[in-house]
Structure 1
């Protein structure tokens, strides 16, 4: 694909391809300072009767993670918990964690953890729970079967207390702090936030982030009045030319509140809502009208790489060798046209991506409806990142 002259051209070109891996529609936003470019292309569902709009609502999947990390930092600023604090004071299920002897060991070949799991471990995905590059390891199976980790399925996951009880029976894959593992730490973090705040996670996020930032379309379920703006969710059809297959319709799993509000990937939102969150990060924690959501120091910690070189190498399947801050990746070197040192954000398995670039004051958000086929980002995201990097 040739370099697009504008964001609308970029989206139109990908939607027009019409291949089995193409999304029915997409909405994108790129902003730098007062310059904001928004494009919407295609349709909200495969039937094609509802055009995609700027305010269309999407399943965010893993670009939920930076938002939940920011919520955890509000608790730190309130003095309720510190990054170095062991989380077992609020999550007693993790008071005596066991660790498989080696990552390849069976789940019953375990040793005791050498130290407690801390808040910092959860924020940086180094608590010992989650996914490595090898999905065949025995200790990973319970994450799928008991915790329902993987593609979001909000109505299938047990309530937080039952989920934590199940987690307590699953050994860690690494000793706390030793290795980076994907996903599960963000769900644990969501439970921790609710217990430290003594409020359900949806209510706490609404109070401390969504309401101050004006993120009126963001939550763990779509309000009935917004269902007409909610998009379908698809995966690529099987080989042989079939089109995308519907995973979840607008009146499906996100049309009612879940028992388990997933800090890893449960939110729905719009491009403008995530843009408001991104602008807050660029403004050192301030809203557009000058209210403080986070301190500048908290934002700095979020967007700083916390991994060792070995941990970056271990995470390469997911991060392509980049670093990891709190709840999102951090570019540490230029390895592709879209890599900008200091760029912070992430991608979502439902076909979403969002980043901020502090050095240029850029926010970039792309929301599609197509499930990712694996950790590698699809071409539309890579083209979008390149466009945003040169904005």
Structure 2
């Protein structure tokens, strides 16, 4: 048994409460790669019943690991010259051309002032558009984000189509002036709609044409076709007693295309597909002899753009990290599992994918149990510690 398999199986075997499912997770797929050396382990099962063994090609809801993919799609449009980082997004998203901002982050939602400047493409790429979730979820303007546009747990079939989604968002004030503060999640959904408006295609069509098909990411998309449902994992959340409760079955929310293709967290994928995307980033945008992104765009994606003050204010979500385009960038080492320059992110459905450009490392962990908060669970941390030592 390899050490990677042993680490994963430890968490599958670990009991929670008598009579509950016998493990912290029903199953997991882990991938660790450096150059041509690739180690993959699939353990446990796709569901708590244990009738479907986990395999390397199992499909997972990757949640916020969608964010780096969406950012890469935006950067293909930058490389094409169709948009620029300092362009106002209102050119394509007129609903957001003249946003209002709460006078202070703690002000009532009707105590607003006009935005000092337009929101730019660069603002949404760095999650500094002024929309999103801060460390303090009690702020008045955060409530409408959940009530109008955000679904928790994720339920893509309940989100309105992009035009209505933007109309709802336009009625919600910004928490901060554009460029002032890092806020989580909403900017990546804006990126997805921006890709569609600029390209004249659906987000799914554009991602497939410019990224998924060239990279051979045949299992990645916003829904799982009927002929692949047998490889799709069930999604669970942890009950108060420590057991697992079903959130979404394979024939549930992702069994048909959604009206809103969420760039922030709507994709399903496999370890192999995510590895292909990671290899493209490590090769500075090249894949199979074809350039998908410019080297400059990859460097911009994997560079921290946050100021020390902006990082300090984002402590609920970031641990010694900054933010690039669509993913975190480790600025300082805070544990044995991270190192400066590591780029990637985690998903609330129990997923994680990172690259380390300086060493050529790729780490991907896919499980199907929702995280209980922004702090990575023990399984994720132990996986990263193992990968850092390989």
TM-score, normalisation: structure 1? 0.97
- Distance change in 2, residues 1:214/1:266 (3 Å): same
2:214 is matched with 212
Deviation at 1:237, TM superposition (A): 1.4
Which piece of structure 1 moves more, 98-107 or 381-390?
Answer: 381-390
1:196 paired residue among 195, 198, 201: 198
Classify the secondary structure of the residue corresponding to 1:31: strand
CA contact (8 A) 2:67 2:327 kept: yes
Could you tell me how far apart the structure 2 residues matched to 1:122 and 1:46 are?
A: 39
The aligned runs of 1:26-65 (5 Å cut-off) are 26-65=28-67
| Residue correspondences, number | 385
Q: Over the residues paired in the alignment, what is the CA RMSD in angstroms?
A: 1.1
Question: Matches of residues 338-377 of structure 1 in structure 2 within 5 Å?
Answer: 338-377=337-376
User: Among residues 151, 154, 159, which one is paired with 1:152 in the alignment?
Assistant: 154
Cα distance between partner residues in 2 of 1:158 and 1:301: 32
Query: Which residue does 2:76 correspond to in 1?
Result: 74
Structure 2 equivalent of residue 124 of structure 1:
126
- Cα distance in structure 2, aligned partners of 1:149 and 1:293: 32
Query: Counterpart of 1:261?
Result: 261
Cα distance, 1:148 vs structure 2: 2.1
Deviations 1:67-123 (A, max 9, x none): 000000000011100011000000000111000011111100000100000000000
SS in 2 for 1:384: helix
Q: In 2, distance between residues paired with 1:189 and 1:18?
A: 41
Matched residues in 2 for 1:150 and 1:161: separation?
21
Q: CA deviation at 1:5?
A: 6.1
Whether the 8 Å CA contact 1:303–1:325 is kept in 2: the answer is: yes
Match of 1:114, SS state, is coil
My pick for the range that moved more, 164-173 or 381-390, is: 381-390
CA distance in 2, matches of 1:282, 1:18: 38
Q: Which string of whole-angstrom CA distances, capped at 9 and with x for unpartnered residues, describes residues 228-276 of structure 1? A: 000000001123x5x2000000000000000000000000000000000
Shift in Å at residue 152 of structure 1? 1.9
Residues 1:10 and 2:7 are matched in the alignment: yes
Partners of 1:43 and 1:352 lie apart in 2 by 16
CA contact (8 A) 2:331 2:341 kept: yes
2:314 alignment counterpart: 315
Q: Find the counterpart in structure 2 of residue 143 from structure 1.
A: 145
SS of corresponding position for 1:238: coil
Check conservation: 2:320, 2:334, Cα contact below 8 A: no
Contact residue 315 and residue 321 of structure 1 kept, 8 A? no
Shift of 1:347: 0.2
SS in 1 for 2:354: strand
The CA deviation string for residues 335-389 of structure 1, in whole angstroms up to 9 with x for no partner, is 1111111000000000000000111101110000000101111000011111111
In structure 1, which of residues 178, 181, 194 is the aligned counterpart of residue 180 of structure 2? Answer: 178
In 2, Cα distance between the equivalents of 1:19 and 1:359? 39
**SS class of match (1:138):** coil
Matched with 2:285 is: 285
For residues 367 and 123 of structure 1, the distance between their equivalents in structure 2, rounded to whole angstroms, comes to 25
Structure 2: which 5+ residue stretches go unaligned? 18-22
Q: Distance in 1 between matches of 2:381 and 2:81?
A: 40
Query: Displacement of 1:156 after TM fit?
Result: 0.7
